[in-house]
Each structure stands twice: as structure tokens, then as C-alpha cells.
């Protein structure tokens, strides 16, 4: 959810999910667990499942915020991956947290969920955000399991099927490790997440096809990009030139 409210008032309610949000502008006031709270721009909101709360703008200027709802089963799965064993659910003692790192993580996750981010990237951001929320704001911080020799298997799987929309669970299963261990180990080995590595493989394939004289739109479609502009955007970011200029330079 991404919304701006000025006069709207939330009646007291609760959710079955964990609800993590970030106030982008203004001030929002609410009561949760019997206490009054205010979240200002840049602050993070963390509601446990079944936490009753209301909400309204603290002044006439209103407020803008983003909110992500994540089911307990999904949170439990992420934490089990991190711990390498079954893990209890976290408890967030304070519904308002001032932490720029968490705010940045939540913005990135929200944008990926609403946009057209690949499945692998969405899964990575979800895992990273849940892990950060638990580590930095929850009263329970499960331990993490050791990394194993699985990174090479994950890399081979990506190279064999770099055009596929592979999710984190599928890639971790192919590598024989947890999603969290995969993400952490891959970044340690290659300095980037699996989704970034997958995109690099697609860009390299695009370079080969472009060097062979392929039409840019056709190359984009054949290498896993949404369209020509999508390929061009990432090509410029990674290589400092457009695909057309690359072809002309070759």
C-alpha cells in the first residue's frame, strides 16, 4: 500500500500479518497496545499480527506512507532459513522505530513488490528486509546457519537458465542450501546478489547478440528484458553507453 491521507481516520483494527511501513512525509498518529505513538517522515512502523491500532494525520497537512503486509508463515520461513533450524516468530515491542537502514530496505521491497522486479530480486529483498527488521528492531534475533560450498552450484544453475524467472526458493533448492545462506554466500563470493548476477548474464548475452548485428528490440526480447528501454537502461548503467552506440563502436 502507498497512500496519502489528510482527513481519513482509521478505526481501530488489526491484521493477521506482520505490517511493516515507512512514513514518507508528514506525521501520522495512532494508538497501539494502549499507548499513543507518532511516526514522522523516515520512521518505520512495525505491527505484530493481531496488534490492534488506529491511525490518522497528526496535523492538517496529512501524511504519506508505504506499508507491506507479510504473513507469519512467510516470516517464519525466512527466519528458519537464517537460523538453519525452526525458529520462533519475532516480537516487535515498539511499533515505531527510527532507523534509516530499515526505512531504506522497506522502500526497496515495496517498490519491487509493486513494480516489475524479477522474482529472484523480490525474494532477495523480502529475505533481506525481514532479516534486517528482526535483527535491528525485534526482541528475538535467531542465529544464522553456516554457509556451505553451494555457491558454485547456484552460479551454474543461473548460467544454465539465466533467461528463466527463477525464484529464490528454486535456486536455493538447486544449490542445496537455505535462501538466506544462498544470498549471503553469493554476495560474499561475487560481491552481488543472485539477481544482479543473473542480470549480468543477460547483459553479456545481449552484448554478444548486439555485436552480431541483432536488432535492439529483438535482442531485448531474447535476453530476458521487458523491452528495448529496459535493456537500454541497464546497458547504460553497467556499460556507460546505449546498445546502439555499442553496435556503432563495434
pLDDT value, residue 140: 60
Of 91, 108, 137, the one marking the end of a domain is 137
Q: What is the pLDDT averaged over residues 206-227?
A: 97
| 40-63 pLDDT tens trace | 999 999 999 888 899 999 999 999
For the chain, how big is the Rg over CA atoms in Å?
21
pLDDT at 147 over 80: no
Quick count: other Cβ atoms within 10 Å of Cβ 226? Answer: 12
Q: How many CB atoms lie within 10 A of CB 68?
A: 20
What region does 245 belong to: left with phi over 0, alpha with psi -120 to 50, or beta? alpha
pTM of the model: 0.73
In a domain, 97, yes or no: yes
Residues 125, 168, single domain; the answer is no
Mean pLDDT of the chain: 91
Distance between CA 76 and CA 80 in Å, rounded?
6
| Residue 24 pLDDT grade (very low, low, confident, very high; cuts 50, 70, 90) | very high
Same domain, 61 and 100: yes
Q: Same structural domain for residues 12 and 131? A: yes
From CA 47, how far away is CA 2, in angstroms rounded?
17
Q: Which domain holds residue 74?
A: 2-137
Q: Is residue 231 part of a domain?
A: yes
Q: How far apart are CA 241 and CA 201, in angstroms?
A: 18
Q: Which long-range contacts (CB under 8 A, 24 or more apart) does 241-248 make?
A: 243/206, 243/210, 243/216, 243/219, 244/216, 246/207, 246/210, 246/211, 247/210, 247/211, 247/213, 247/216
- Answer yes or no: do 9 and 63 share one domain: yes
Residue 14 and residue 56 share a domain: yes
Phi and psi at residue 38, to the nearest 5°: -135, 130
Identify whether 207 is part of a domain. Answer: yes
Total tally of structural domains belonging to the chain = 3
* pLDDT at residue 207, as a whole number: 93
Q: Are 103 and 172 members of one domain?
A: no
62-102 tens-digit pLDDT? 999 999 999 999 999 999 888 888 888 999 999 999 999 99
- Is residue 144 in some structural domain? no
The helix (H) or strand (E) run that includes residue 37 is strand 35-40
Amino acid at each position: 500500500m502507498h497512500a496519502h491521507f489528510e482527513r481519513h481516520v482509521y478505526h481501530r483494527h488489526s491484521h493477521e500479518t506482520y505490517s511493516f511501513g515507512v512514513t514518507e512525509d508528514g506525521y501520522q498518529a495512532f494508538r497501539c497496545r494502549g499507548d499513543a505513538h507518532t511516526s514522522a517522515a523516515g520512521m518505520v512502523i512495525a505491527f505484530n499480527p493481531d496488534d490492534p491500532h488506529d491511525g490518522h494525520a497528526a496535523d492538517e497537512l496529512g501524511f504519506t506512507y508505504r506499508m507491506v503486509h507479510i504473513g507469519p508463515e512467510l516470516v517464519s520461513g525466512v527466519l528458519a532459513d537464517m537460523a538453519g533450524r525452526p525458529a520462533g516468530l519475532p516480537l516487535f515491542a515498539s511499533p515505531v522505530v527510527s532507523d534509516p537502514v530499515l526505512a531504506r530496505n522497506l522502500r526497496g521491497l515495496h517498490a519491487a513488490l509493486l513494480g516489475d522486479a524479477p522474482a529472484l530480486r523480490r525474494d532477495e529483498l523480502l529475505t533481506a528486509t525481514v532479516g534486517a527488521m528482526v535483527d535491528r528492531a525485534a526482541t528475538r534475533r535467531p542465529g544464522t546457519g553456516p554457509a556451505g560450498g553451494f555457491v558454485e552450484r547456484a552460479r551454474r544453475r543461473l548460467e544454465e537458465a539465466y533467461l528463466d524467472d527463477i525464484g529464490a526458493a528454486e535456486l536455493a533448492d538447486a544449490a542445496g542450501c537455505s535462501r538466506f545462506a544462498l544470498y549471503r554466500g553469493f554476495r560474499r563470493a561475487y560481491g552481488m546478489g543472485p539477481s544482479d548476477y543473473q542480470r549480468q548474464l543477460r547483459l553479456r548475452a545481449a552484448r554478444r547478440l548486439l555485436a552480431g548485428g541483432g536488432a535492439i528490440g529483438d535482442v531485448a526480447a531474447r535476453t530476458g528484458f521487458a523491452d528495448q528501454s529496459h535493456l537500454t537502461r541497464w546497458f547504460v548503467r553497467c556499460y556507460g553507453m546505449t546498445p546502439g552506440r555499442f553496435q556503432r563502436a563495434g
